[in-house]
Structure 1
Amino acid sequence: MPSRPSSSQSGGSSSHSSSKAVADRYEPETSLRAALFGEILLCRDRLTLERVVVKTVDLQLASRHTSRAQELVQEDVQLEVEGLSRVRALGGHPNVIRLHKCFVARGALHLVLDYCEGGDLLDACVQRRRPRVDRNEGLSSRSRTRRVNSSRVDSSSGRRSCSDDSCGRPRGEDVVGVGGGGARATAAVGSGGPRPEDDVHDDGNGPFLSGVDGSTRLQEAVAHAFLVDVLSGLRFLHAHGIAHRDVSLENILLRNGSAVIADFGLCVPELSDLSSSPLSSLGRRRPADALCCDAAVGKDYYMAPEIVAREAYDPRRADIWATGIAFFILLTSSPPFERADPSDAGFRYVAKRGVKAVFAAWGLERDVSEGMQNLLERMLCVDPDERITMAEIWQHPVLKRPRSRAESIGGCT
């Protein structure tokens, strides 16, 4: 990664004096939280008077893929800048985070992003089951524990840290600490997933369920509104050759009642640049339009089975899988399994019986419409070649429904 972005990336501020002028334009109001490579600041744009988020990046840490806690991470700041710059050049999209400017000042890279006052979708929903956090007190100990547990990076397993974008609520420091990688949704939302040690028997009873916590489930109408938003943003990205590769509840922010896709540190900014590793060498049919990656990236709960299996994969299809997992969690308060691997009992159950069987086994078949269950089952098809495509998603009856208004997260049941 270059130590300094080009002038096109930095909004034309290539000299020290112009960079300082841009930096002086943004008046810090408060520190929202620590970031992997620096800090997230809530600032006021002195010219427009609007609030923005300025994400500071220590370029030395970023170039070594090393967090402030001296842990290896997968996020690539150059990928983030390239992806967000492409989105901006394409005119942007209301459901994709907007990069206002990118500049270097005081020895750090600064990304000026939209301020999303609602925070991320996971925290906004979890907020319903715990006392409201004082904006000046940071996170409750429970939430900090979830954040720590969601942040472990294991370079051998491809795990990574939690979201590092423009969330709106002040939080405790993002620490790369103990625990498994990825979104610890069961710690934060519920613990309804199957236990890893449980075998799956074909007795019709479904996977082991320790109890779905209904206090954090979203009503389907609200989840549907956010699903429309996310799929709209993804359709825009995929249509312009950008794959996200890290869709998760932590990376879906809320702004003015709409969902916004954020955190592009693992994106593929130019799908046409991917080397096409033949899937035929892996014994699988290669779709005519396949564009292949082979890097195992993302959060454990959200990683598609082809990524977990270390196969070459189409990142667009992996995005669809991850989106399906995210909205399954919103509708049930629990992920269906911990990892899309045959060693996981819950995954074996889903692979054998389908997602609709999980809704039935968990007693939620009447809480989630048949259409939504069908859509999620097709998004979570284990075989990526048979998984529903983005074009097919937008022809599904669920996407034909009018989008409900979702100005707040008050749809938590």
Structure 2
Amino acid sequence: MAIKAWITEQGFEWLGVVFDAPRSSVHFAYRPLECDHITIKSCPVAIVENQQQREDAVARRLAAAGGHPNVVRFHGAYESGALLHQLLEYCHAGDLFTILMQSPNQRFSQQRAWTYFVQIARAIKFLHDCDIAHRDVSLENVLLSDDGQCKLCDFGLSSTTTQRSNERVGKLIYMAPEVLAGDSYDPVKADVWSLGVVLFIMLTGAAPVSEASAVCPAFRILCTHGCRILESWRMLDVCSTSMQLLLSRLLQPDPALRLDSMDAILQKVRWMSRCRREPSVSSFSG
């Protein structure tokens, strides 16, 4: 059955296609009974079966914890033939990567990047507090609502926070060095690295490294000079000194020296705001 026909059969009003690829597609729809809009992500069951089990487990745990304004709401999943349809919160503005690429100079202002960064950090903290490590934090996995709220999504690669692993998961440019190396790693600290990459890209429009390994010249520079790589790019005017210091603690190649939790990151955020070094962001406890 075609996806549009399945959506109509559920009593929903089909509104359009976001994208349609051989392995997955995303559609928008309206649910008359609930009076809300939703996103429907459809994939072949054979491809996503294991990931869907994780998605379902994470959805139940997050719902039991009361949800979070910066985490996308999961409305359920349904199988139809060979397809699995996931019903998700409607975020009309799309994902942050696409929005960034459409922005002037393909980067955000420091204030805008800072606002998004804090929201994403809050979302990851909520997951970690629920004993969930995301393991695929990226701009592509953050949606933006019409009111400007970031919504972290896609939990199919998640694990518990205490589950050390040597799985190479996530997108290459966001992978922490220890993940890429295949070492046994702490997934919480891997999320911290990925969040640092997200912030770096929002500020500069480019990833700090193509991959976090010795074969990448930019990574060797990062290991030697830290985030002074910004100076070589002549990007210091878009990144304050305090922001550079924060990036250096997030993008620390040695996980033992990296900021070790979202609590530690948000504590830095509070300190930076009190010192008036960054735009003020209220309610940091979320």
Flag whether TM exceeds 0.5 (same fold): yes
TM-score by length of 2: 0.87
Q: Which residue of 1 aligns with 2:3?
A: none
Contact 1:37 1:62 in 2 (8 A): no
- Tell me the distance in 2 between the aligned counterparts of 1:104 and 1:325: 35
Kept in 2: contact 1:45–1:52 (CA 8 A): yes
* In 2, Cα distance between equivalents of 1:330 and 1:300: 17
Aligned residue type for 2:231: A
Q: 1:26 and 1:57 mapped to 2: Cα distance?
A: 19
Judged with a 3 Å threshold, the aligned counterparts in structure 2 of structure 1 residues 243 and 27 are, in CA distance, closer, same or farther, namely: same
Instruction: Please give the secondary structure, in 1, of the residue aligned with 2:259.
Output: coil
Aligned residue in 2 for 1:375: 246
Residues 375 and 398, structure 1, Cα contact 8 Å, conserved in 2: no
Does residue 1:398 correspond to 2:272, yes or no? yes
Once the two structures are TM-superposed, the CA of residue 346 in structure 1 deviates from its matched residue by: 0.5
Aligned to 1:277: none
Q: Indicate the structure (1 or 2) with the bigger Cα radius of gyration.
A: 1
Counterpart position of 2:62 = 87
1:29 aligns with 15
| 2:218 alignment counterpart | 346
| Correspondence for 1:241 | 131
> CA contact under 8 A between 1:228 and 1:399: conserved in structure 2?
no
Provide Cα deviations, 1:45-95, integer angstroms capped at 9, x if missing partner.
1112211011223223434xxxxxxxxxxx822222222232122111111
> Over aligned residues, Cα RMSD in angstroms?
2.2
- 2:93 is aligned with 1:118: yes
Alpha-carbon contact 2:100-2:205 (below 8 Å) kept:
no
1:263 and 2:157 matched: no
Quote how far apart the aligned CAs of 1:332 are. Answer: 1.1
Q: TM-score, normalised by structure 1?
A: 0.61
The alignment covers a number of residue pairs equal to 269
Q: Deviation at 1:391?
A: 2.1
The 5-angstrom pairing of residues 284-323 of structure 1 reads: 292-323=164-195
Q: Distance in 1 between matches of 2:21 and 2:131?
A: 28
Counterpart in the other structure of 1:227: 117
Match of 2:26 among 19, 29, 40: 40
Whether the 8 Å contact between 1:393 and 1:399 is mirrored in structure 2 is no
Question: Percent identity at matched positions?
Answer: 33
In structure 2, what residue type is equivalent to 1:352? T
Q: Tell me by how many angstroms 1:265 deviates.
A: 1.7
Aligned counterparts, 1:169-248, within 5 A: 215-248=105-138
Higher strand residue share: 2
Alignment check: 8 A CA contact 1:246 1:297 kept: yes
Q: Which amino acid aligns with 2:40?
A: V
- TM-superposition CA deviations, 1:225-266 (whole Å, max 9, x none): 000100000010011100111111111111120111111121
Structure 2: state its 5+ residue gaps: 1-5
Contact 1:294 1:313 in 2 (8 A): yes
Give the Cα–Cα distance (whole angstroms) in 2 for the partners of residues 297 and 399 of structure 1: 34
Task: Report the 3-state secondary structure (helix = DSSP H, G, I; strand = E; otherwise coil) of the residue aligned with 1:228.
Answer: helix
As a proportion of its length, which structure holds more helix? 2
Q: Go from structure 1 to structure 2 and tell me whether the alpha carbon gap of 1:232 and 1:224 turns closer, same or farther (over 3 Å shift).
A: same
| Counterpart contact for 1:102–1:109, Cα < 8 Å | yes
Counterpart Cα distance in 2 of 1:126 and 1:366: 20
TM superposition shift of 1:368: 1.1
Tell me which moved more, 89-98 or 35-44: 35-44
Q: How does 1:268-279 map to 2 (within 5 A)?
A: 268=159, 270-272=160-162, 274=163
